[in-house]
Amino acid sequence: MSETREPAVWHGTTIMMVRKGGKVVIAGDGQVSLGQTVIKHSARKVRPLAKGEVIAGFAGATADAFTLFERLEAKLEQYPGQLMRACVELAKDWRTDRYLRRLEAMMLVADKNVSLVLTGTGDVLEPEGGMMGIGSGGNYALAAGRALADSDHDAETIARKAMAVAAEICVYTNDSVTVEALDTAE
């Protein structure tokens, strides 16, 4: 019998978005894993775009995420101040373009007015309750964030506490967290 070996796969991350009290925050962990091995502890998966008017975080394959960041940045230049329109146009391209269709990633993006989840299946979704988590630890972070939603904590504190919970549970998430924040239109 021959043994079939699965190729090592880049795996996991946690990205958390919280909109509360005049701020929107996107937080992401820094762990990059290849199979069962941690390759890097301090990757930056959250960044500002559009001259700081938009923040974005990705979960998925690193090279794919860089491609998506570049494509989103181009759409934001094409449609300045129109995050929803830029994201819809990116999602159309992502779903229909032969190259982009193969990308394995999800993104959380936000500006002062709107927060969105983008997927490779063409989804552009506005999360309910001002929170969303993506990646292997996304559901853990989202559950922790929702539990803290009615507390006196601000958006950044909720995001950091939610990321800490995800890091304790998800083996593909660590406690090296990057946070980007914007003031909102509230």
Entry pTM: 0.90
Binding residues: 167, 170, 173
**pLDDT at position 3 over 60:** no
* Nearest-5° Cα angle at 143, 54 to 102: 55
- Cα–Cα dist 78/69, whole Å: 14
Q: What is the per-residue pLDDT across 102-125, written as a single tens digit (0 to 9) for each?
A: 666 789 999 999 999 998 777 899
Catalytic residue among 4, 13, 37, 67: 13
Confidence band for 186, pLDDT divided at 50, 70 and 90:
low
- Ordered by where they begin, the domains of the chain are 10-178 (3.60.20.10)
Confidence band for 16, pLDDT divided at 50, 70 and 90:
very high
Residue labelled with tokens 């909720």: 158
Binding residues for Na(+): 167, 170, 173
- Cα–Cα dist 23/105, whole Å: 25
Contact 134, 120 (CB under 8 A): no
Residue 119: active-site member:
no
Task: Please count the other Cβ atoms lying within 10 Å of the Cβ belonging to residue 24.
Answer: 27
| pLDDT of the residue at 10 | 45
**pLDDT at position 8 over 60:** no
